Amino acid sequence: MDYILATCESSSKTYRDGMQVETTAITYGQTRSGVRIVLHSGDKVLITRPGSGHLIRIVGSQGFIEFRKGDDYHTILNAEHPMGSDITPSSLKYDGHRKFLEDLADMIESGKTSYVIPDTSLSALELVEAAYLSSRYQCKVSFPFSDSKSPLRQFGILECHMMGKAA
């Protein structure tokens, strides 16, 4: 990831698992290769395509891929699929949490440790933290996070303008 830019609001006092969450939020991210991710989240996000679930769209300079949690297909639009095509990705032997438990059982049995899941979980947590920092300080959060001791610079925020002053 190159950077994250987000804005969140919580006017409705919505709670999930005992924690106040955003009512509406927009998060924009861009990778170093130029792939852009836009996430609209919240209780009343209108999805104009039929069906239920959250629509996820990954946009690149050559097209996009979109999917929903629970769907067994992805829609792809690019040079090879100019009108858009539904593609069924290869399915896993196990879905959801069972996949992680089966992987853990395999590691215990083989004695070989894999840190793929913890490492990707940590990366995902850093992205979420960057989105909340971006919303809180109203600025773009760049990656990788810096080692600087400044409260904002430690999160890779090189310039952040709050109340008309550079932070």
Residue pair 118/107 in contact by the 8 Å Cβ criterion: no
**143/156 Cα distance (integer angstroms):** 6
Residue ranges making up the domain that contains 111: 3-46+92-166
pLDDT in tens, 90-101: 665 666 678 778
Residue pair 36/28 in contact by the 8 Å Cβ criterion: yes
For residue 143 the two structure tokens come to 């990656």
79 in a structural domain = no
Q: What is the DSSP letter of 154?
A: G
For residue 134 the two structure tokens come to 């971006």
81 in a structural domain = no
83 in a structural domain = no
104 in a structural domain = yes
pLDDT in tens, 36-68: 888 887 777 766 666 656 677 777 788 888 887
**Gyration radius of the chain over CA positions:** 19
124 in a structural domain = yes
66 in a structural domain = no
**132/129 Cα distance (integer angstroms):** 5
How many structural domains is the chain composed of?
1
77 in a structural domain = no
125 in a structural domain = yes
